[in-house]
A and B are shown apart, each in its own frame.
Chain A
Amino acid sequence: MSATALEVVGLSKTFGGLRAVDGVSFAVPHGSLTALIGPNGAGKTTLFNLITNFFRPDAGEVHFYGSSLARLTPGRIAALGLVRTFQSARIFPGMTTLENALVGAHLQLRAGPLQQMSWLPAARREERTLLARAEALLELVGLARARDVAASELPMGAQKLLEVVRALMARPRLLLLDEPAAGLNDSETAELAALLRAVRANGITVALVEHNMSLVMGVADQVVVLDAGKLLASGTPAQMQADARVIEAYIGIDEAAN
């Protein structure tokens, strides 16, 4: 299947006088792993917030498997299968690692509060199924032993991995990850890379914002480069590494200074 998972057309957002995102268009092919890169302040996270309607765009459209996301609440977007994580790991404090993972499966639940309160066999069975899935995923990222620990006590790297697990529990069609490797050490980054490849192998499309170039070059099929709110270039990792504009944006040769 070569359908387009996500299509972003002419997305713009202005904060005060700042054009944070300026007419950005790109597409994420189904089954791909797309990385958004760019210097700090390029508008990557804002773009994510626009796609998932945490901010309302000034102009432009977002299509998810052909249907428009305009005016849908973040919750509805999640229900369609577009699940995101946050730049600073937003795990739920006051809940254990396992419970955090289970929250991700919220939309998978068939039983409502009443059925759960009545201990209906179907509701309990559903809980057990989710529990098994969550434990398997935690095992995969090496968090199984921390399952009953307060999630807020986990080190930063583990919290970020937990957030990815939580998003996966939602069985997303497209996973948006906002800087998943930030705060991870080398071995955790390697685990993350393995996890991302496994995710893609399971047919889940991934788009991520990331600064860690070795991670991006190692796992991405497609790289989209943003600079100062605008789309600078897009292509394969190898193409981007050779692109003069991209190198310039990253090394920071300021044309105005010349």
Chain B
Amino acid sequence: MGRHEPADGHSAGEIASGQQVDQALQIVIGGLLQGSVFAVVALGFSLVYRVTGTINLAQGAFCILGALLTYTLEDGFGWPVALAAVGGGALTGVAGLVIGATVFVPALSQLPVSSMLIMTTGLLTLVEGLVLVIWGSQPYALAAFSGEAPIELFGLRVTSQGFWIAGMAATVFTSLWYLLMRTGAGKVLRACAENPLAARLMGISVPRVTLASFALAAFIGGLGGIFVGPITSLQFDTGRFFTIFGFIAVAIGGLGSFVGAVVGGLLLGVVLQLAAGYVSSLFANSLAFGLLLVVLLWRPNGLFAGGLARRSDVREEQRIYPPIVRLEGRRAAVLAAVALLGALLLPELVSSESVMSSLVITFILYVALLGLDVLMGYAGQVSLGQAGFMAIGGYAAAILATNYGWSPLAGTGVGMLLSVACAAVLSFFTMGLRGNYLALATLAFGLLVDSFAVGLTETTGGPSGLVGIPAFALGPLVFDSTVKMYYLLVALIVVLLLLLLGGMRSGFGRALQAVRTDQTAASALGINVARYKLIALCISAALASLAGSLYAFYFHFLSPEMVGTPRSLELIAMLVMGGEGTLIGPLAGAALLTLLPTVIQPLATYKTFATGALLVLAVRYLPGGIYGATVQRLRHWAAARGKTS
């Protein structure tokens, strides 16, 4: 028992190794095993989606939680394998129960679907952060349930763990089917899925049933992680791979369909293993992403249409909308002038180089956040792949400037063009779809870019990153110090803010906001919904790309983890915390999450956890963000003062 060498969960080699003739068969078996795990995660997705209409992106986090709990029970407490696995699964179910009861279910009745999605990204980050705090960042592997010796079957060698995985997946599927179709509890659950209002009228406690299904999905996810644990590497952030591949599986199979989840999972597993076995794992990841896009375009409802079509075409019932925050006229101008003066004087007041550097990072991220705010805060489209565009901008500019001697400005421009092109492709595939497909396509896109950044070692430097990137320059002006970068960014942000404020305070911004809340009414007024979504996505991609380029030029270094999916999720947290749809607010979110860990060093370990927790809290309790709350407070204060004088 104990730690194993980290193994790559996405390569076929270790599961299937045998005679050349049997190689294809071995790979297919490996694919089916991997697919079984995807299928189990996908079942959890479908279960929660069917009952709540929400795609729970935290689903994969339960896999890693279950596996690591099992590891601790086994390794730390000396429990036998079977008992540890049962204990790990049960504890994951309890964790699901707690998260469901305190966060997920109460929020369900108050938040629009897109906010629920954002909240589940917060939950994913929160659980990842928790795992990081408890287990650290090193990889783990569970001991195989029945020894490491492979089993010979018709001349093929299959790891004994493979039988455990297949057995578990089959058991989960049949039990779930039996529970839903043959028991009274299942009937109640289906009633809640199909018509919550009618179910409530029949005396069913819908929240309780929702909670039960959320916890059940967590338990199922935990089982998936526990059983695949012995043949994969487990790290605090492995959860999001379970989430993304489980989601791709369920999108292929059909959201809400249980048969679809299983078929989608197995299909995805086999395709991935074949691609990885015969070409490369980089190709496999691209193929998974390509498969998702093709399904979204060709059969948006998946191969097996979900058990019921959730009526996403109907306007959502009255939900909580963020307060409207508008600072008008003279007061806004005075505040802006004061803020600008403060920003210009700040380098004179701050002596610490690390704080100055954090300010530069805050401003760089704020540039990306301005784009995200146009997309999410105004147009209401969720992007979980903002860092993917940062990566494109960063790598394109850095490679062109470092290896080909291009000017940094030209490289930055090329990066922005590339990003906008990618955004247009993503938009083409998702614009006809309602719901949160853009969010999921962008999430997959971010992971794809990440796998290119890691995989194209010769161009990008691979995981260890790209070094020797020159400083940003505009002709003879070279921005080779933190203070110079600081002033460049202040100037850039002033220009961007003027442009975006001009757009958002006129017809453009109104059209985006109309698209955000009611696409039907918007199109009845002649607003071309698809066009405005496209423009918003392109602006967001261009600004993220610009931020990515500046990031690379500032650090003279760029590695995949600087612009990976955690960065995307962090940007969402900053945006929501600062205040969506305000343009100014995200600066507060960026400053909070960048400066605090710098100023208070011990916080760094808790950063992921805190990011997730703050995001969940902000979505739930601070709909206008820090900025919205501050402006409202100011307004009350002004009103109160006006009354007394």
Q: Are B521 and A170 in contact (CB under 8 A)?
A: no
Contact B321 A107 (CB under 8 A): no
Residues of chain B within 8 A (CB-CB) of A17 are none
Per a CB cutoff under 8 Å, which of B498, B499, B513, B525 touches A166?
A: B525
- Cβ-closest chain B residue relative to A124: B506
Residues in B with CB closer than 8 Å to A152 are 318, 321
Q: Is the beta-carbon distance between B321 and A83 smaller than 8 angstroms?
A: no
Contact in complex: B514, A78 (CB < 8 Å): no
How far, in whole Å, are A111 and B509 apart by their CA atoms in the complex? 13
Q: Is B507 a contact of A96 with CB atoms below 8 Å?
A: no
In the bound complex, residues from chain B placing their C-beta under 8 Å from that of A93 are 321, 517
Query: What 1/0 flags go to B474-514 for Cβ under 8 Å of A?
Result: 00000000000000000000000011101100111011011
The verdict on A92 contacting B503 (CB below 8 Å), with A79-B526, A119-B498 known, is: no
Known: A90-B315, A92-B513, A113-B535. A123 touches B526 (CB 8 A): no
Residues of B with C-beta under 8 A to A83: 524-525
Tell me if B322 counts as interface (CB < 8 A to partner A).
Answer: yes
Contact at B498–A78, with CB atoms within 8 Å? no
Known A94-B324, A166-B525, A170-B525: A106·B507 in contact at CB below 8 Å? yes
Task: Please tell me if the beta carbons of A94 and B524 are within 8 angstroms of each other in the complex.
Answer: no
Q: What residue of chain A has the Cβ atom nearest to residue B527's Cβ?
A: A106
Are A103's CB and B514's CB within 8 A?
Answer: yes
Q: Which B-chain residue is minimally distant from A102 (CB atoms)? A: B510
Asked if A94 and B517 sit within 8 Å, CB to CB, the answer is: yes
Docked CA distance A74–B522 (Å): 10
| Residues of A23-60 whose CB lies within 8 A of B | 52, 54
Q: Is the CB of B535 within 8 A of A75?
A: no
Q: How far is the CB of B619 from chain A (nearest CB, A)?
A: 15
Q: How far is the CB of A128 from chain B (nearest CB, A)?
A: 10
CA distance A86 to B318 in the complex (A): 16
- Contact check, A107 vs B526: say whether CB atoms are below 8 A apart: yes
CB distance from B493 to the nearest CB of A (A): 15
Nearest neighbor of A94 in chain B, beta-carbon distance: B321
Give the B interface residue count (CB, 8 A).
Answer: 34
B506 touches A116 (CB 8 A): yes
- Assembly CA distance A102 to B522 (angstroms): 12
B393, CB-defined interface residue at 8 Å: no
Q: How many residues of A contact B (CB 8 A)?
A: 41
A170-B323 contact in complex given A90-B518, A116-B508, A117-B499, C-beta closer than 8 Å: no
Question: Could you give, for residues 122-163 of chain A, a 1 whenever the CB lies within 8 Å of some chain B CB and a 0 otherwise?
Answer: 010001000000000000000000001010100000000000
Q: Are B513 and A99 in contact (CB under 8 A)?
A: yes
Chain B minimum-CB-distance residue to A119: B502
Return chain B residues, CB-CB under 8 Å to A52.
524
Answer yes or no: A180 CB below 8 A from chain B CBs.
Answer: no
**Residues of chain B contacted by A96 (CB below 8 angstroms):** 324, 326
Is A68 in contact with chain B by the CB < 8 A criterion? no
Cβ contact within 8 Å between A116 and B525: no
Give Cα distance in the complex from A111 to B507, angstroms.
Answer: 9
Among B511, B523, B528, the most chain A Cβ lie within 10 Å of the Cβ of B523
Whether a CB of chain A sits under 8 angstroms from the CB of B19 is no
- Among residues of A, the one whose C-beta sits closest to the C-beta of B315 is A90
Interface residues of B in 330-348 (CB under 8 A from A): none
Chain A residues with CB below 8 A from B510, complex form:
95, 99, 102-103, 106
B509 nearest CB neighbor, chain A only: A116
User: For the complex, what is the distance from the CA of A107 to the CA of B498, rounded to whole Å?
Assistant: 24
Chain B residues with Cβ below 8 Å from A167 are 525
Q: Tell me the smallest distance from the CB of B248 to a CB of chain A, in Å.
A: 32
- Bound Cα distance from A210 to B498, whole angstroms: 46
B526 near A106: Cβ-Cβ < 8 Å: yes
Instruction: Indicate if A104 sits at the interface (CB-CB under 8 A).
Output: yes
Contact A104 B525 (CB under 8 A): yes
CB distance from B622 to the nearest CB of A (A): 16
Known interface pairs A74-B523, A93-B321. Does A127 touch B507 (Cβ–Cβ under 8 Å)? yes
Say if the beta carbon of A109 comes within 8 Å of chain B.
Answer: yes
| A96-B326, A170-B526 known; A54 vs B520 contact (CB < 8 Å) | yes
Question: Residue B516 at the A interface, CB < 8 A?
Answer: yes
CB distance from B531 to the nearest CB of A (A): 9
Give Cα A150–Cα B323 distance, bound, in whole angstroms.
8
Q: Evaluate contact between A103 and B517: CB separation under 8 angstroms.
A: no
Decide if B581 is an interface residue (CB 8 Å cutoff). yes
- Contact string against B for A residues 156-192, beta-carbon threshold 8 Å, 1 for contact and 0 otherwise: 0000000000110010000000000000000000000
Closest to A167 in B: B525
Are B524 and A127 closer than 8 Å at their CB atoms?
Answer: no
B503→A116 contact, CB < 8 A: yes
A118 touches which one: B318, B499, B516 (CB < 8 A)? B499
Please give the distance in Å from B420's CB to the nearest CB on chain A: 14
Known: A99-B513, A106-B510. A86 touches B503 (CB 8 A): no
Q: Is the CB of A94 within 8 A of B508?
A: no
Whose C-beta in chain B lies nearest to the C-beta of A101? Answer: B510
Q: In the complex, which residues of chain A have a beta carbon less than 8 angstroms from the beta carbon of B506?
A: 111, 116, 123, 127
Tell me whether B503 and A113 are in contact (CB under 8 A): yes
Q: In the complex, A167 Cα to B323 Cα: how many Å?
A: 25
Complex contacts, B528 vs chain A, CB 8 Å: 75
Bound-complex Cα distance A127 to B506 (A):
7
Within 8 A of A (CB), among B13-71: none
Q: Is A84 an interface residue (CB 8 A)?
A: yes
- Residues from chain B with a CB closer than 8 A to the CB of A84 are 524
Q: Which residues of B contact A127 (CB under 8 A)?
A: 506-507
Nearest residue, chain B, Cβ from A95? B513
Residue A73 at the chain B interface, CB threshold 8 Å: yes
**A119 to nearest B CB, angstroms?**
5
Contact partners of A117 in chain B: CB under 8 A: 499-500, 502-503, 508
Asked if A90 meets B521 with Cβ closer than 8 Å, knowing A103-B514, A119-B498, the reply is: yes
| Chain A proximity of B416: nearest CB distance (Å) | 16
Residues from chain B with a CB closer than 8 A to the CB of A54 are: 520, 524
CA distance A103 to B532 in the complex (A): 14
Residues of B with C-beta under 8 A to A91: 521
Interface string of A62-81 (1 = CB under 8 A from B): 00000000000111101100
Q: Mark B523-565, 1 if CB is under 8 A from A, else 0.
A: 1111111000001000000000000000000000000000000
CA distance A105 to B514 in the complex (A): 12
B residues near A99, Cβ cutoff 8 Å: 510, 513
Please, how many angstroms separate the alpha-carbon atoms of A84 and B506 in the complex? 23
Give the chain A neighbours of B521 by CB distance below 8 A.
86, 90-92
Q: B322 contacts which chain A residues (CB < 8 A)? A: 94
Which residues of the other chain, B, contact A73 by a CB distance below 8 angstroms?
523
- Chain B residues numbered 89-133 whose CB sits less than 8 Å from any CB in chain A: none
> A150 to chain B: which residues have CB within 8 Å?
321, 323-324
Q: Which residues of A contact B581 (CB under 8 A)?
A: 94
Report which residue of A75, A102, A107 has the largest number of chain B beta carbons within 10 angstroms of its beta carbon: A75
- For A73, the closest partner residue in chain B by CB is B523
Instruction: For B528, give the chain A residue with the smallest CB separation.
Output: A75
Which B residues touch A103, using CB under 8 A?
510-511, 513-514, 522, 525, 527
Cα–Cα, bound, A95→B511 (Å)? 11
Q: What is the bound-complex CA distance between A109 and B520, given in angstroms?
A: 20
Residue of B318, B324, B498, B520 near A90 (CB, 8 A) is B520
Kindly provide the distance from the CB of A22 to the nearest chain B CB, expressed in whole angstroms. 24
- CB B139 to nearest CB in A, in angstroms, measures 44
A55–B332 alpha-carbon span in the complex (Å): 45
Question: In the assembly, what is the distance between CA of A116 and CA of B520, in Å?
Answer: 25
CB distance from A204 to the nearest CB of B (A): 16
A75-B321 contact in complex given A92-B514, A106-B507, C-beta closer than 8 Å = no
A-B contact pairs, 10 of them (CB 8 A): A74-B523, A75-B528, A92-B518, A95-B514, A106-B507, A107-B526, A111-B506, A116-B506, A117-B502, A117-B503
Beyond A103-B522, A111-B507, 7 additional contacts (C-beta under 8 Å) are A52-B524, A54-B524, A83-B524, A90-B520, A92-B521, A117-B508, A150-B324
Which 10 residue pairs of A and B lie closest in terms of their CB atoms, listed nearest first?
A78-B526, A117-B503, A90-B521, A107-B526, A113-B508, A116-B506, A109-B507, A117-B499, A119-B502, A94-B321
